[in-house]
Amino acid sequence: MIFLNNKLVPKKKALISVFDHGFLYGDGIYETLRVYKGIIFKMDEHIARLYRSAEMIGLTIPKKPDEITKAVNETIAANRQKEAVVRITISRGPGPLGLDPSLCPKPTFVIISNRFRHYPAAYYSKGVKVSIVNTRRNYGPALDPRIKSLNFLNNVLAKIEAKNSKSYEALMLNYQGYLAEGTISNVFFVNKKGILCTPAIKVGILEGITRGMILDIAGELGLKSREGCFRRNDMYHAREVFITNTSMEVMPVTSVDSVRIRGKAGRLTAMIHNRYREKVSEYIEAYNK
């Protein structure tokens, strides 16, 4: 079942207009959430980012935060999913041709929930390969990567390059050549001094919710961390590399382009991922109390 505007409808009946400006112009926003044991993880953070994205494109979300939470819960319940990945999409809605948002009085609101499919265990033990692609991350003043928008062609073009080089994920540099982020992930590396590094928000990236958690975990574990401007070479000389997002959590990277970083997942990467999993369990326990 799909939640469309105000109700649950069967997948086959979940249809939207060809005049929807989300379809015509990529005009809209979204969030991806993870459900563990029937509980939406970090809902408040995702909702906050959804409203931030909406504000940045001048879109009024047609629901209150608690109504969105209720709708997500209804969707996962209707689909009988305890382990799921949920996508909330809000587009500008249907309207005549033309870019003016005021042509669309009614945003389209959609929730899709899919059963969570585990990633192959080898991805976590052996790590994945990534490529630093030619496609640069959107220039912030042109289209701010902090907006989680439906306009995803930048990321799609990068993904095509990654696929062509048989890589699991593409890493994009920003217009200045600084390491930015993956197509659907943030990136971290451990440098030669053992410092956990990740691109700063000002480089022009999405402020990942997982990224924020990893920085907190680094603090808790007493690891030094640095948010900054890094180059391609910093990746090649890293001791460990990993990528993060809501559904993959912490995914070890063992090759960057043709450079083999290491033979298997790194020690700090595994430590951070274990702590992340503990935090998920703590969250679920606290929720159930």
Residue 140 touching ligand PMP (CB under 6 A) = no
CB closer to ligand PMP out of 210 and 225: 210
What are the φ and ψ backbone dihedral angles of 126, each rounded to 5 degrees?
-95, -20
User: Does residue 154 touch ligand PMP according to CB under 6 A?
Assistant: no
Q: Count of residues binding ligand PMP (CB under 6 A)?
A: 14
Binding residue for ligand PMP, selected from 50, 68, 132, 184, defined by CB under 6 A: 184
The full DSSP string for 72-113 is HHHHHHHTT-SSEEEEEEEE--B-SSSS-GGG--S-EEEEEE
Residue ranges of E strands in 38-185: 39-40, 84-91, 108-115, 128-132, 169-173, 179-182
Nearest to 270 by CA among 256, 289, 246, 253: 253
Site string for ligand PMP, 213-252 (x = CB under 6 A): -------------------------------xxx------
User: 146 and 201 in contact (C-beta within 8 Å)?
Assistant: yes
Q: Work out how close the CB of 119 gets to ligand PMP at its nearest, in angstroms, rounded to a whole number.
A: 14
Which residues 26-55 are close enough to bind ligand PMP by CB under 6 A? 32
If one counts every other C-beta atom within 10 angstroms of the C-beta of residue 186, the result is 22
Interaction between residue 151 and ligand PMP (CB under 6 A): no
Is 104 or 158 the residue whose CB approaches ligand PMP more closely?
158
211 binds ligand PMP per the rule CB under 6 A: yes
- Candidate segments 17-25, 52-60, 208-216, 253-261, binder of ligand PMP by CB under 6 A: 208-216
- Select 155 or 225, whichever has its Cβ closest to ligand PMP: 155
Q: Between 77 and 156, whose beta carbon lies closer to ligand PMP?
A: 156
Is-contact 222 195, C-beta < 8 A? no
Q: Which is nearer to ligand PMP, 91 or 246 (CB)?
A: 246
Comparing CB distances to ligand PMP, the nearer of 86 and 104 is 86
- Provide, rounded to whole angstroms, the least separation between the CB of residue 289 and ligand PMP: 25
Instruction: Give the binding range for ligand PMP (CB under 6 A) out of 91-99, 102-110, 202-210, 226-234.
Output: 202-210
Per the CB < 8 A criterion, the answer to whether 125 and 109 are in contact is: no
* 2, 76, 206, 218: which one binds ligand PMP (CB under 6 A): 206
Element (H, E) at 212: helix 209-220
Q: Which stretch binds ligand PMP (CB under 6 A): 80-88, 122-130, 183-191, 252-260?
A: 183-191
**Structure tokens, 40:** 């939406």
CA atoms of 243 and 232, how far apart (whole Å)? 15
**102 alpha-carbon distance from chain centroid:** 29
Q: Answer whether 130's CB lies under 8 Å from 162's CB.
A: yes
CA-CA distance, 18 to 15, in Å (whole number)?
9
Nearest CB to ligand PMP, comparing residues 186 and 254: 186
Binding site for ligand PMP (CB under 6 A): 32, 155, 181, 184-186, 206, 208-211, 244-246
